[in-house]
Structure 1
Amino acid sequence: MGGKVSSKMAAPAARIVQAVRPRAPLIKFPKRQDIQRPNAGEALKAFAVNVAPHSTPPPPSSRPPVPLTPVSGTPDSLASIQLLPARYRRRPMAAEEMEYIQRGGPE
């Protein structure tokens, strides 16, 4: 029995050290008990007063809009799906399974 410590002996010692160490919270939340909560009606009135009417146009963006371009690659078509190996194809659904999905699950 030399200077080596077996893992069976070290595990209980580690638990004792962890138990003695004081717990430090990782997250601190602010105390909100002193803050008054606004009434929903008052908040809506204040919001309506501060919001400008909808007739004003939005501010112009810093860059012009870019037209959408299709992504390059193989388009999805029936031919491309038929060329897939059977293991990558979607399995056919039974009529009972389709009815089950259409009605929204179990009754």
Structure 2
Amino acid sequence: MGSKVSSKMAAPAARVIQAVRPHAPLIKFPNRHNIPKPNAAAPPQLSRSHVPLTPIPGTPDTLASINLLPARYRRRPMAVDEMEYIQRGGPE
């Protein structure tokens, strides 16, 4: 009887072992071992010229476009008490 039990248990295990295939990676990362790492401890260069910020291209927000937003994307209205709390910097 012991041989029947073991053969019944061995058959599904053999199927599982046959179904396992070797791992084939889907993502390949570039070899970056030869690229020098930046030195984070170095002080920032102050001689860089100031670059002005450029606006993002596109249509600016208008009241009409904001009103067309669904309610879940709109800002919730603030109470006067909440605005005063924020303006004074928190609890007294």
| TM-score scaled by length of structure 2 | 0.38
Pick 1 or 2: higher relative contact order, CA cutoff 8 A, min separation 6: 2
